[in-house]
């Protein structure tokens, strides 16, 4: 082979080798760059972090019930007669002793007059027989009268005395019937409408038609059914000593909170084994008459003894199927999964029964931007609704996770921050 051809082949082989080498270098550099980009740590998300606090709380349990009148009276006539006057308007507030109805009193006035005449007659008869007996006693001592005649006069005096007592009883009955013709309010409260109108004849007795109903308004009951566990926890320990020590709050259907405070009025004497509940009635002041029997009532019962409890903002709690959790931020700024058991609300906060300790820091805003194990950029805030202060939030070293106490911001309200 000529030298010129051999040299051309060698040159071509060298060029090909150089091309392959340069391509390998380029591919290696691009692969290293992609690997570096894949392994680069994700940017830390900025989230609001608050310190968990603990304080003395009162345990509460909520129930639903109905309002009941302390006194409810069905007004029925005690004498028969014609209804001649109605002294109230439907729905009026009346006082004890106020006249409600008048039944025609004339027949009863006549009966009183007849009974008075009978009393006068028997008094005269008693006076005559008493004097006659005195004369007979003087004569019998001198044997001037037969013993039989003396006994007759004494018996007549005793009969006259008994007749007077009967006449006086009849007079008292007649006066009572006359008094019953004016029907009065037995208690103070709010009256219903008149069920019987003027001119109708009413009959006496428990089986008669009620003229109206009257319910007391000064106080009112809220009747609820308390489960066995709550009864043992909140009521049974205080019932025998002082039921007023049990805190009871009342809210109506159109109210957000609980606007009225009362106390336990009565507890039933047995637990219903069918429902597992016991009937409890709480009593509330109702001087303005705004609470009406039959209204729906939301009742909250509190324990008489306070306890120490951990409190957090409910927005900091996440849901993982049937579990509740929070993200705890450690000293290295890493968010860690922590399962918690949530209790009853306390104002704007929620009691944590287990899973957290006071002083730990949790994510309270931005929970959806963080996953367990992620690094976070914590923005320290006061727990919404808590009693923490800026001084309590400042760390002892003056700096934590790149945020100093001087540059830290605290929220005046949830979602807003002001310079500390």
Locate the domains of the chain by residue range: 47-56+307-419, 74-213, 218-302
What CA–CA distances, in Å, run from 416 to 231, 400, 405, 411, 412?
Answer: 43, 22, 18, 5, 6
Residue 406 has pLDDT above 70, yes or no: no
Which CATH number applies to 47-56+307-419: 3.10.450.750, 2.40.420.20, 3.90.1150.10, 2.60.40.10? Answer: 2.40.420.20
pLDDT band at 405 (very low <50, low <70, confident <90, very high): very low
Residue 13 has pLDDT above 70, yes or no: no
Condensed to tens digits (0 to 9), the pLDDT of residues 76-103 reads 999 999 999 999 999 999 999 999 999 9
What CA–CA distances, in Å, run from 280 to 9, 31, 73, 268, 271?
Answer: 108, 76, 22, 6, 10
Residue 243 has pLDDT above 80, yes or no: no
Residue 242 has pLDDT above 70, yes or no: no
pLDDT for residue 15: 56
Which CATH number applies to 74-213: 3.40.50.620, 2.60.120.10, 3.10.110.10, 2.40.50.100? Answer: 2.40.50.100
What average pLDDT score do residues 359-374 get? 84
pLDDT band at 279 (very low <50, low <70, confident <90, very high): very high
- Same fold: 74-213 with 218-302: no
Of the chain, the percentage scoring pLDDT greater than 70 comes to 79
Reduced to 3 states (helix: H, G, I; strand: E, B; else coil), residue 310 is: strand
**Which of 19-33, 132-146, 279-293, 311-325 bottoms out in mean pLDDT, i.e. has the lowest?**
19-33
Q: Which residue has the higher pLDDT, 328 or 366?
A: 328
User: For residues 101 and 191, is the Cβ–Cβ distance under 8 A?
Assistant: no
Backbone phi, then psi, for 124, in 5-degree steps?
-65, -40
Tell me which DSSP letter residue 395 carries: -
- Domain 218-302 has what CATH class? mainly beta
What average pLDDT score do residues 278-292 get? 90
Residue 33 has pLDDT above 80, yes or no: no
* Exposure letters 367-380 (e unless 16+ CB within 10 A, then b): beebeeebbbebbb
pLDDT band at 5 (very low <50, low <70, confident <90, very high): low
Most confident of 45-54, 264-273, 380-389: 264-273
Condensed to tens digits (0 to 9), the pLDDT of residues 182-220 reads 999 999 999 999 999 999 999 998 888 999 999 999 999
């Amino acid at each position: 082979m000529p030298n010129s051809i051999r040299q051309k082949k060698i040159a071509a082989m060298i060029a090909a080798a150089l091309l392959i080498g340069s391509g390998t270098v380029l591919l290696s550099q691009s692969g290293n760059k992609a690997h570096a980009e894949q392994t680069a740590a994700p940017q830390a998300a900025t989230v609001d972090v608050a310190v968990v606090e603990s304080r003395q709380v009162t345990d509460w349990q909520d129930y639903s019930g109905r309002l009941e009148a302390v006194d409810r009276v069905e007004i029925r006539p005690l004498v028969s007669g014609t209804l001649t006057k109605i002294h109230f308007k439907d729905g009026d507030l009346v006082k004890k002793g106020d006249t409600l109805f008048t039944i025609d009193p004339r027949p009863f006035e006549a009966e009183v007059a007849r009974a008075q005449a009978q009393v006068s007659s028997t008094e005269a008869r008693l006076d005559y027989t008493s004097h006659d007996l005195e004369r007979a006693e003087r004569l019998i001592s001198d044997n001037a009268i037969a013993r039989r005649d003396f006994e007759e006069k004494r018996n007549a005096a005793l009969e006259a005395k008994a007749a007077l007592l009967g006449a006086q009883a009849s007079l008292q009955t007649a006066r009572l019937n006359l008094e019953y013709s004016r029907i009065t309010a037995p208690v103070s409260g709010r009256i219903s409408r008149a069920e019987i109108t003027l001119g109708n004849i009413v009959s006496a007795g428990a089986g008669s038609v009620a003229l109206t109903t009257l319910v007391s308004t000064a106080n009112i009951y809220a009747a609820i059914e308390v489960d066995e566990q709550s009864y043992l926890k909140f009521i049974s320990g205080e019932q025998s000593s002082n039921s007023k020590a049990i805190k009871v709050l009342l809210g109506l259907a159109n109210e957000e909170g609980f606007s009225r405070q009362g106390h336990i009025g009565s507890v039933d004497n047995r637990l219903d084994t069918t429902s597992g509940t016991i009937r409890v009635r709480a009593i509330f002041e109702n001087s303005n008459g705004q609470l009406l029997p039959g209204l729906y009532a939301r009742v909250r019962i509190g324990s008489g003894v306070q306890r120490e409890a951990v409190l957090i903002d409910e927005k900091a709690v996440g849901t993982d199927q049937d579990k509740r959790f929070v993200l705890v931020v450690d000293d290295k700024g890493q968010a860690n999964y922590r399962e918690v058991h949530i209790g009853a609300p306390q104002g704007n906060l929620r009691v944590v029964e287990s899973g957290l300790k006071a002083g730990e820091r949790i994510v309270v805003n931005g929970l959806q931007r963080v996953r367990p194990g992620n690094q976070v950029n914590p923005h320290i805030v006061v727990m919404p609704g808590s009693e923490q202060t800026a001084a309590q939030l400042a760390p002892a070293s003056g700096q934590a996770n790149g945020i100093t106490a001087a540059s830290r911001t605290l929220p005046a309200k949830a979602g807003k921050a002001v310079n500390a």
